C-alpha cells in the first residue's frame, strides 16, 4: 500500500546489494511512496550484486562510490543533486563489513589492519558521508539521515565479533553529528537497530541460523523482516517524524526489552 509519504522528496540510498538487503527493500518502498533517489555502492559490491536491476525497476541511476573515500563521496553528492535536480531530503546508510568475521578471526585474535578497515567501512563512513553532506549544505531543512545498526552495540553477542564495536561507534556518530545537523539545518539523524535479518552480510555471522531462531522465540512479535524495516525507514524519511532525532530506534519485535520468553524457557524445562 502506498501513502504518497515521500512525494517530491529526493535522496541517496547506500548499500543495496541484492533483493535480500534492507537497502534494496527500502529503495523499492521509497519509489512506491513517490520519492526519487540515486543508488550507490562500492564498485566491488556492485560487481557481486544486482544493483542495476533495482535501478531499472525504480527508474533511477547508480553512482559507484567507495564510502570511505572523501573524493568519491563528494562526487556522489554533487552528481546526486545534479541528477535529482536539487538538495536532498533523505539518506540511508546501510553499510557494514568485517574482514575478521569474514575470515574467521576470533574477537580475541584480531588482525588489526582488518579491524581498522572494517571500522572505516562500517562506521567512519557514516561520519564521512554526513560531513560531506554538511559541508556542501546538500540537505534540505527537515531532511532525514538513517543508519542501520544492531543491538550488539549494547549487549554481548560473542560471534558478532568486531562488528559490535563498529555499530557502537556508528550509533555515537549519529548522536554527535545529529546535534550539529539538527542545530544548523533541522536535519534529523537516527539509527535503526534491526532484528537479525538474513541478508548477505547477516548470514556471514557464525551460527546465524540458530541465532535468528532464538531471537524469533524471544521476541513477542517475532523478528522484523527486511521489508518491515523498509517500512519503518520510510516513516523516518517522511514529514511524520520531524522531531525524532539522535535516537537509536529498536525495530526488533520487542527483543530489546525481553529478559526471557516462555518459548525459550520451554526449551530448557523440556516442555513443548
Angle, to 10 degrees, between the axis of helix 262-269 and the axis of helix 208-218?
120
Is 36 known as a binding-site position? no
Is 202 known as a binding-site position? no
Is 21 known as a binding-site position? yes
Is 15 known as a binding-site position? yes
Distances (CA, A) of 139 to 62, 101, 157, 186, 204: 19, 35, 36, 10, 34
Query: Which of 160, 179, 232, 250 is labelled catalytic?
Result: 160
Angle CA(249)–CA(147)–CA(61) in degrees, nearest 5?
A: 135
Residue 179 annotated as catalytic: no
Beta bridge partners of 91: 12, 145
Beta bridge partners of 194: 251
DSSP one-letter code for 62: B
Distances (CA, A) of 220 to 76, 259, 260: 41, 11, 10
Query: Which of 31, 107, 150, 232 is labelled catalytic?
Result: 150
Which position has the grid cell 520510510? 234
Is 9 known as a binding-site position? no
Residue 107 annotated as catalytic: no
For CA atoms 19, 25, 30, 34, the dihedral sign is positive
**Which stretches within 1-137 are classed as H helix?**
22-32, 43-48, 51-57, 70-84, 99-102, 112-119, 125-135
Binding-site positions for NAD(+) read: 15, 21-22, 95, 167
* Catalytic residue set: 150, 160
List the binding residues: 15, 21-22, 95, 167
Amino acid at each position: 500500500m502506498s501513502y504518497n509519504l515521500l512525494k517530491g522528496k529526493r535522496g541517496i540510498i547506500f548499500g543495496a546489494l541484492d533483493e535480500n538487503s534492507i537497502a534494496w527493500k527500502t529503495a523499492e518502498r521509497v519509489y512506491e511512496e513517490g520519492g526519487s533517489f540515486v543508488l550507490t555502492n562500492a564498485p566491488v559490491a556492485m560487481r557481486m550484486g544486482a544493483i542495476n536491476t533495482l535501478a531499472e525497476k525504480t527508474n533511477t541511476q547508480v553512482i559507484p562510490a567507495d564510502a570511505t573515500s572523501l573524493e568519491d563521496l563528494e562526487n556522489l553528492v554533487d552528481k546526486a543533486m545534479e541528477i535529482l535536480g536539487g538538495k536532498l531530503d533523505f539518506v540511508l546508510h546501510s553499510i557494514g563489513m568485517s574482514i575478521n568475521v569474514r575470515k574467521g578471526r576470533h574477537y580475541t585474535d584480531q588482525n588489526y589492519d582488518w579491524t581498522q578497515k572494517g571500522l572505516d567501512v562500517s562506521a567512519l563512513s557514516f561520519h564521512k558521508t554526513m560531513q560531506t553532506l554538511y559541508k556542501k549544505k546538500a540537505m534540505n531543512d527537515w531532511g532525514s539521515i538513517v543508519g542501520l545498526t544492531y543491538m550488539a552495540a549494547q549487549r554481548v553477542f560473542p560471534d558478532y565479533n568486531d562488528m559490535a564495536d563498529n555499530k557502537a561507534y556508528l550509533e555515537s556518530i549519529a548522536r554527535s553529528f545529529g546535534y550539529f545537523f539538527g542545530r544548523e539545518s533541522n536535519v534529523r539523524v537516527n539509527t535503526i537497530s534491526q532484528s537479525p535479518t538474513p541478508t548477505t552480510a547477516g548470514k556471514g555471522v557464525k551460527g546465524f541460523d540458530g541465532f535468528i531462531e532464538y531471537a524469533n522465540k524471544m521476541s513477542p512479535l517475532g523478528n522484523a523482516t527486511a521489508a518491515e524495516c523498509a517500512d519503518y525507514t520510510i516513516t523516518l524519511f517522511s514529514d511524520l517524524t520531524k522531531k525524532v532525532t539522535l535516537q537509536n530506534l529498536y525495530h526488533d519485535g520487542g527483543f530489546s526489552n525481553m529478559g526471557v520468553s516462555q518459548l525459550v524457557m520451554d526449551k530448557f524445562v523440556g516442555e513443548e
